[in-house]
Structure 1
Amino acid sequence: MKLLLFPSLVALLFQGSANACTGFAGVHDHFLPINGTFAANNQISLNSDGYGVSHFGSGAYMITDGAYQTFVVVSTEGVVVVDAPPTTGHKIQWAIGNLTSIPVRWFIYSHSHSDHAGGAYIFANQSHPQVTTISHENTASQLATAKDPHRPVPQITFNDRYNLVAGNQTLELSFPGIGHDLGNIIIYAPKQRVLMMVDQIYAGWVPFWNLAASLYVPGWIQAHDQLLAYDFDVYLGGHMGGPANRTAVEVQREYVQDLFDNCADALLESGSPENPTVDIGTISKEVLENNPSNIWAQFAVYLDAVADLCYNKTSEKWLGKLAAQDIFGFSHARTMVSSLRLDYDILGPNGVQ
C-alpha cells in the first residue's frame, strides 16, 4: 500500500539522490549506496562452492553464504552446529568436512524461524540418531505445532539456562525473554569469547524490516543490554556477512534508543496544533472531509504522519551511518510508534482525557 505523505514532508523525505523507502520498493528504485560503511567493509569472501569460513580459535568457526551465519564448534567428542539456514544447507556439511573428520553430535536451534532452521534436518533426523537436538522449550512447542520435517522437534529443551559440555568445549545457552521470537536464545562460547543471538543485531545495518519482525518489541529492545552484560570479543547475529564485535551491539542500541526517543517525541507533538503535519486534530479534519465517517482512514494517515516525523528525525543522524536506513527506517518508525502506544502507554493525544 502506498502511504499518504504530507507535501511538507515529501521534500524532506526525498532529499538527495536516494528515495526514502516509505512506500513500495520497486526494482527500478535507487537507494543510498553503502560504500564506506561498516556494512560494506564487513564482508566475507566466498569460495567457488559459495561459502566462507571465519576461524575464532580453539575450534570455533562461522560458516556463511554471505547472507546467513552458522556457528560451529569442534570438540573432542563431536561437532556442535548452531542453526542451519536453508540457503547455506549442505554447504555447512561441506565446510565442516573440510575442517575436521569428527562427526556432528549436537544441533542447537537459536529459535524456530525457518530461514535459520530450515536446514536442520540435514543434521538432525531419523537417519542421524547420533545427533542430539537442543532448543528453548518455546521453540520446541512451536516446532511441534509446525510439524515441519525440515525442522525436527528438539530432544532436549530448557526454560532459563542450559550448559552444553561437549568434550573439551562448553556452550552456555540462556533465554533472555520473549523478543524477536518466543524462544530466541543467547549462545555463548566463554573460551573463545564468542556471543551469538540471531535476528537481534545487524552489524553496520539498521535492523531488518519492522524492527527485525519482532514478536515483542520491548523484549527485543531489552536484549541489547542483556547482550552487553557478557564478556565477548566476537558477535554473530545470524545475518549480513562477517562477524561483528561489541561496538556493533553498542551502535545498534544507540540507534534503537534514538528511534524510541524520536517516536515518543513525535507522538507527544501530535497533540499540538503548532505542527499541523502531525497534529491529530488538523489531520482528522482534513481526512474526514475527503473520507466522511472513515475512522480507519483518519487514524492510518495520523499514525503514518507521526512515523514520518520520527523517521525524519532519526535519519538526520543515521542516514548514511547505518546501511539501509532509507530502506527499512520508516518501517522501524512505524513499528516503534505502535509499540510505544500499546506497550509503553505513550498515547499522545489519545491518552486519558
Structure 2
Amino acid sequence: MTSSSPSENDLPDYVPVPEAAFGPALNEQGYFVGRVERNLFWVTDGTYQSAFLATPDGVVLFDAPPTIGHNLRRAVDEVAAAEGIGNTVTHLVYSHHHADHAGAANLFGDDIVRIGHTETRRLLLRDNDATRPAPEVTFEDRYTLQVGGERVELAYHGPNHSPDNIYLHFPDHDALMLIDVVNAGWVPIYNLNLSEDVPGYIGAPDQAMDYPWKHFIGGHLGRLGTRDDLVLHQQYIADIVDSAHAALASVDPTPYFSKYGANAWAGVGGYLDAVTAEAAAPVIAKYTGVLAAADVPAFTTSTTFSILQSIRLDLGTGSQVHP
C-alpha cells in the first residue's frame, strides 16, 4: 500500500523568514509571556496571542486561544508570582467569536465575568460550543471596562475580519489589540486571514491608526507589532488593490469563454484565475523577503482573489454590461 503523502524532497522551498518577523524564544512548556507596559502582559505560543491585565482586584484575560490552552493559566501564575499579586482570573473579554481565539474560554470556570459584543453573544449562542460560553456583559458600540483601577476601552467599528470583531484600546498602557487583521511581520494567510468583510478588513488598519498607541497585539505569530508594521501591511494591501484594478483592465476574458463555450463555469474559472495570477505576481515579487511567507503563493494569491471579487461585487468595477 503506497502513501499519497509527499516526501520532504517533493515540497517546495521558500525564502528564509526575515529576522524581523520572529519573536522571543518560547520556554520549555511552549509559551512566552512578556510585559507590554506596566501590568499589561501578552502571551504567545509562536502562532497565537493572548493578553491579560494583572490588577489588585483580579486578572482580566483578553482572548483564550486553545493552542495556548493551559499555558494561559501557567503564564498568569508566572506573572502573579513574580509581581506578588493574586492569580485569580475574574474577567474574560472576547475579541470576537471564532473558536481559534476563544476555544479555551471554558478553562477558567463559570465564576468569571465574560464580556463581548452583542453579535459575539448571538453567534456563540448559535454555535452552542461548550468551550466558548456566551458573554453575559455585552455592548453595541462602546464599553469601558474598569477593574482594579485600570481601564480598557472596547469599541465596535463595524464588521471586518468577522461580523463582531472589536478594537481593544489600553490608553494607560500605550497598546491596541485588534485580532486577525494585521500579522506583524507576515502576510495574511488565505483570503485576508479568512476575513468575511473585505471592505471592512481593508479599512480596519485606518481605524486602528486613529488610536494613540505604541504596542500592537494582533492575535497571531510570535511578536508584538508596531505602527510601522501596520503601515507596511497597508502598503501591501494597497499594492494588491492597485494591481487588481490593473489586471481587471488588462486581461481579456474572451479566449476563456470562446474556448469553453457552454461550460460557463470553466470560462469564469479560467478568466478569474488569469486575472488573479496577473494581479498577484508583482506583489509576491515585491514583498518576498520583506514580509514573511509573501512567497507562499496560496496566501497572496488567495488574498488577491478575495480583493478582486470585492472590487467586482462591492465596488462594481470590472462588471461587464451586456450591450
Find the partner of 1:223 among 204, 208, 222: 204
* Greater than 6 Å deviation, 4+ residue runs: none
Supply the distance in 2 between the matched residues of 1:208 and 1:81 (Cα, whole angstroms).
Answer: 26
- Assess if the C-alpha contact under 8 Å between 2:17 and 2:289 holds in 1: no
Partner of 1:65: 45
Residues in 2 aligned to 1:124 and 1:256: alpha-carbon distance in whole angstroms: 40
1:119 deviation in Å? 0.1
Q: Distance in 1 between matches of 2:7 and 2:171?
A: 44
Counterpart for residue 52 of structure 1: 32
Match for 1:280 among 244, 250, 253? 253
Task: Please give the alpha-carbon distance, in whole angstroms, between the structure 2 residues aligned to 1:156 and 1:31.
Answer: 48
Q: Give the one of 295, 307, 316 matched to 2:264.
A: 295
CA separation of 1:51 and 1:171: change in aligned 2, threshold 3 A: same
The SS at the match of 2:295 is helix
2:69 and 2:162 map into 1 onto residues whose CA distance is 22
Give CA deviations for 1:63-122 in whole Å, capped at 9, x if unaligned.
111111011111121111001111111110011011112311110001011011000001
Unaligned runs of 5+ in 1: 1-24, 271-278
AA partner of residue 108 (structure 2): F
Q: Deviations over 1:23-59 (max 9, x none)?
A: xx996322322343421xx322111111101112320
Is 1:252 matched up with 2:233? yes
Identity %, equivalent residues: 34
- Please point out which of 301, 326, 331 is paired with 2:295: 326
Count of residues in Structure 1 that have an aligned counterpart in Structure 2: 310
Q: What TM-score, normalized by structure 1, do the two folds share?
A: 0.85
Structure-2 separation of matches of 1:102 and 1:50: 20
Whether the 8 Å CA contact 1:38–1:203 is kept in 2: the answer is: no
Map 1:1-353 to 2 at 5 A.
28-39=10-21, 42-100=22-80, 101-125=86-110, 129=111, 131-270=112-251, 279-286=252-259, 288=260, 292-327=261-296, 328-347=299-318, 350-351=320-321, 353=323
How has the CA–CA distance of structure 1 residues 152 and 79 changed in structure 2, closer, same or farther, with 3 Å as cutoff? same
Residue 168 to residue 34, structure 1, CA distance change in 2 (3 Å): farther
Shift, 1:351, TM fit: 4.0
Other structure's SS at 2:123 match: helix
SS of the aligned residue for 1:339 comes to helix
Any stretches of 5+ residues in structure 2 without a counterpart? 1-5, 81-85
Contact 1:107 1:134 in 2 (8 A): yes
Contact between 1:37 and 1:321, CA under 8 Å: does it hold in 2? no
Distance 2:70 2:28 in 1: 14
CA contact (8 A) 2:41 2:53 kept: yes
Residue type of the alignment partner of 2:107: I
Contact 2:114/2:135, CA 8 A, preserved across alignment: yes
Q: Secondary structure at the match of 2:269?
A: helix
Give the C-alpha shift of residue 201 in structure 1.
0.5
Preserved contact between residue 70 and residue 83 of structure 1 (Cα < 8 Å): yes
Q: Is the 8 A contact 1:107 1:124 kept in 2?
A: no
| Shift in Å, 1:313 | 2.2
Render the CA deviation track for 1:208-233: whole Å, top value 9, x for unaligned: 11111111100011101000101111
User: Post-superposition shift, 1:333?
Assistant: 1.3
2:123 alignment partner AA = Q
Report the alpha carbon displacement of residue 285 of structure 1 after superposing the two structures with TM: 1.8
Aligned mates of 2:87, 2:74 — CA distance in 1: 13
CA RMSD, 1 decimal = 1.5
Report how far residue 315 of structure 1 moved: 2.0
